[in-house]
Amino acid sequence: MEKVIISAALTGAVTPKSANPSIPLTPDEIADDAVRCWKAGASVVHLHMRDADGVGTMDKDRFLSAVSMIRERCDVVINCTTSGDNRASDEQRMAHLEPVKPEIASFDSGSFNWMPSGVFMNSPQFLEKLAGRMRGLGVKPEIEVFDSGMIGVAGYYIKKGLITGNPHYQLCLGVLGGADATVENLLYLRRMLPENATWSAFGIGKGHLPILYATIALGGHVRVGLEDNVYYDKGVPATNESLVARAARVIREANKEPATPAEARAMLGLVEA
């Protein structure tokens, strides 16, 4: 039976508890939620950290603390962000990779106006360093794509040999400034991916369900979680666990099966440490 990887994006860099009280902020809360999502069918967790005030931080000790707790309790694949704080320097954005050794980390292959908060900055100089660092440490890039030009940017690093193996893409739809979360855009972007690629997608906010269903129909993998979507239904607050459980149910209804972490590792070509 076809396996579908569910990635749970637990917290992101921005959303406060006031928007959804279930958003995990401390390393303990993040680890607890990661384990709950793994039990509900997630095979990957995409992690950001927050500081003591709940603001996104690239503090490597917080990453290490949360990831150590998760690894003690389950075998879920760890995917760490590299863009968890727009005030962080290039070096700070990569500082956690060596101590934490996540199997995957995000690689945002371009910059744009993330409306209305600011410029989402991923310069060519940063991406070159990041791709080299990840390759050196054996961390697989998850190429986050917010619009079509970013697929070409990623292709540049693939051609340069800085991204090797079968590339993995995360199509992130619905941010104002990037591609809108429509099924038409999903089809368009997916057609541009290299033949040997694996891919996953999500839509934020009200784009969540159309993109979830379309991605499963198209044979992609899915991402869900409070980083992208704080409502389960109109006016009904979500939890990470409830969003993962729904994705798992939809996958089974489609005659597919949520991938286990071991199956996700095999599909993504991850080598176990």
Interacting residue ranges for Zn ion, rule: CB under 5 A: 81
d(CA 133, CA 28): 28
Strand ranges for 36-184 from DSSP E: 44-47, 49-50, 56-57, 77-80, 104-108, 112-114, 118-120, 140-145, 168-173
- Smallest gap, in angstroms, from Cβ of residue 111 to Zn ion? 16
Chain position whose Cβ is nearest to Zn ion: 81
Please say which residue, 117 or 164, places its beta carbon nearer to Zn ion.
117
Contact 145, 109 (CB under 8 A): yes
Cα distance between the two ends of the chain: 27
- Smallest gap, in angstroms, from Cβ of residue 81 to Zn ion? 4
- Smallest gap, in angstroms, from Cβ of residue 254 to Zn ion? 26
Q: How far is C-alpha 223 from the geometric centre of its chain's CA atoms?
A: 7
Please say which residue, 81 or 185, places its beta carbon nearer to Zn ion.
81
Please say which residue, 81 or 198, places its beta carbon nearer to Zn ion.
81
**For residue 268, which of 137, 169, 145, 124 has the smallest C-alpha distance?**
169
Contact 9, 42 (CB under 8 A): no
Per-residue burial over 96-120, b = 16 or more CB atoms within 10 Å of its CB, e = otherwise: bbeebbbbbbbbbbbbbebeeeeeb
- Smallest gap, in angstroms, from Cβ of residue 225 to Zn ion? 9
Please say which residue, 81 or 242, places its beta carbon nearer to Zn ion.
81
Please say which residue, 205 or 219, places its beta carbon nearer to Zn ion.
205
Any idea which residue has 């995409």 for tokens? 46
- Smallest gap, in angstroms, from Cβ of residue 200 to Zn ion? 13
- Smallest gap, in angstroms, from Cβ of residue 161 to Zn ion? 26
d(CA 13, CA 1): 36
- Smallest gap, in angstroms, from Cβ of residue 108 to Zn ion? 9
Please say which residue, 81 or 109, places its beta carbon nearer to Zn ion.
81
Please say which residue, 227 or 241, places its beta carbon nearer to Zn ion.
227
Residue 81 CB contacts under 8 Å (≥ 6 apart), including other chains: 13, 46, 47, 48, 105, 106
Contact 153, 109 (CB under 8 A): yes
